[in-house]
């Protein structure tokens, strides 16, 4: 006769998911031989405990499936309300975002120029192109690609530096104009009679980062042109100021192109941090060798995730053990084959 379930003895745990404190992990360990057996022995004296374990495991699976279907809502919430969470559509803007540009210099940076149409034989990479490149790299970050993270961090830092330079230089000129007002001459910053309004359809936050840079440069160009018109700067000085700032922004734009050229190739598209770990496949090691050969080693803080991009599509949760392994790989203590390089170096 089967033993009543209330009489079956089992280990208990304070964090048990069952009301009676049943320790499912402890019971699995105690019945490990039966759990792992291809054909468990029904005559084993622990058979009732084994059946109870299987029943509780199935109950937990069903409860977990039900929680998933209910989107993990509070138990007080009815099923139809809980499941409605999946029916909510993505957020959309009621109106199209619009950027107004007042200067030709800023608009040229935004739209670029093909090499064939350039009077000097060189092209200008457009802000729209850079925004598209950064969106592609941002999408790659979803694969846990350390080079995507590194690129996004670098470009964000450089854009931030350029915006600070624009703000600092523009404020210097603005302060000069304010002094004129204190002396009795009220001067306003020039603006276009018919600024160009551009509808923006960027699908990544990095597109708007480029918009911020373009708008800052547009304001700076207006201030410089105002300084020239009001005799605070000479013609040559004003042109040189705008040329130097334009040159820095164009250099940043140009620097983003190789990232897309190489990282989006079919051979490197699947690159991820797991490719660097011991036991990675031959294809993974080839991806790592190619990426390191092209871009160099990823800095350790970025490789381990200590430093992250401002915006990323990465959703991988790294365990403590995996993080320690990533740190060891980044520090060169472990190679892709899993060898402990620190011991090897000690023996040499």
Q: Which residues pair with 198 in a beta bridge?
A: 99
Residue 344 reports pLDDT greater than 50: no
Query: Regarding predicted confidence, which is higher, 278 or 183?
Result: 183
Highest mean pLDDT among 22-31, 90-99, 244-253, 316-325: 244-253
Residue 339 reports pLDDT greater than 60: no
Residue 138 reports pLDDT greater than 90: yes
| 317 dihedral zone (left: phi>0; alpha: psi -120 to 50; beta) | beta
Q: How many other CB atoms sit within 10 Å of the CB of residue 344?
A: 10
Residue by residue, DSSP assigns 222-242 as: HHHHHHHHTTSS-HHHHHHHH
State which H helix or E strand residue 286 sits in.
Answer: helix 282-295
Residues 219-256 have pLDDT tens digits of 999 999 999 998 889 999 999 999 999 999 999 999 99
Tokens 């300084």 belong to residue: 227
Question: Comparing 91-95, 159-163, 221-225, which segment has the lowest mean pLDDT?
Answer: 91-95
Residues 184-204 have pLDDT tens digits of 888 888 999 999 999 888 889
- The answer to whether the pTM exceeds 0.75 is no
Residue by residue, DSSP assigns 47-110 as: HHHHHHHHHHHHHHHHHHHHHHHTTT--TTS-HHHHHGGGGPPPP--SS-EEEEE--HHHHHHH
Residues 42-87 have pLDDT tens digits of 988 989 999 998 999 999 899 888 888 888 888 888 888 888 888 8
Query: Regarding predicted confidence, which is higher, 65 or 152?
Result: 152
Give the angle 171-173-178 at the CA atoms, nearest 5°.
90
Query: Regarding predicted confidence, which is higher, 326 or 216?
Result: 216
Tokens 């023996």 belong to residue: 347
Q: Are 31 and 46 in contact (CB under 8 A)?
A: yes
3-state secondary structure of 131: helix
Give the residue from 192, 173, 324, 178 showing the smallest Cα distance to 237: 173
pLDDT of the residue at 331: 61
- Domain extents in the chain: 5-86, 98-256, 263-332
């Amino acid at each position: 006769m089967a033993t009543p379930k209330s009489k079956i003895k089992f280990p208990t745990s304070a964090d048990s998911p069952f009301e009676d404190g049943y320790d499912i992990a402890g019971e699995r360990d105690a019945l490990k031989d039966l759990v792992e057996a291809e054909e468990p022995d029904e005559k084993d004296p622990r058979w009732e405990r084994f059946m109870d374990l299987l029943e509780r495991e199935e109950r937990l699976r069903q409860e977990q499936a039900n929680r998933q279907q209910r989107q993990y809502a509070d138990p007080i919430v009815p099923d139809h309300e809980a499941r409605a969470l999946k029916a909510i559509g993505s957020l959309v803007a009621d109106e199209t975002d619009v950027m107004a540009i007042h200067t030709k210099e800023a608009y040229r940076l935004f739209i670029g120029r093909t090499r064939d149409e350039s009077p000097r034989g060189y092209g200008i990479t457009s802000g729209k192109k850079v925004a598209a490149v950064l969106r592609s790299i941002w999408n790659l970050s979803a694969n846990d690609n350390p080079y995507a993270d590194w690129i996004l961090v670098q470009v964000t830092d450089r854009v931030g530096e350029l915006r600070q330079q624009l703000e600092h230089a523009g404020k210097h000129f603005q302060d000069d104009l304010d002094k004129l007002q204190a002396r009795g001459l009220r001067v306003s910053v020039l603006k276009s009679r018919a600024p160009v309004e551009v509808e923006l359809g960027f699908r990544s936050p990095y597109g708007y980062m480029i918009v911020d840079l373009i708008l800052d440069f547009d304001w700076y160009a207006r201030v410089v042109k105002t300084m020239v018109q009001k005799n605070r700067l000479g013609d040559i000085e004003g042109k040189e100021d705008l040329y130097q700032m334009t040159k820095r922004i164009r250099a940043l734009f140009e620097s983003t192109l190789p990232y897309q050229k190489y990282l989006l190739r079919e051979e490197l598209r699947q690159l991820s941090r797991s490719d660097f770990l011991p036991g990675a496949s031959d294809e993974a090691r080839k991806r790592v060798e190619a990426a390191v050969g092209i871009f160099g080693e990823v800095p350790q803080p970025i490789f381990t995730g200590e430093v992250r991009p401002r915006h990323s599509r990465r959703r991988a949760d790294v365990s403590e053990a995996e993080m320690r392994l990533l740190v060891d790989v980044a520090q060169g203590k472990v190679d892709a084959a899993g060898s402990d390089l620190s011991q090897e170096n000690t023996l040499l």
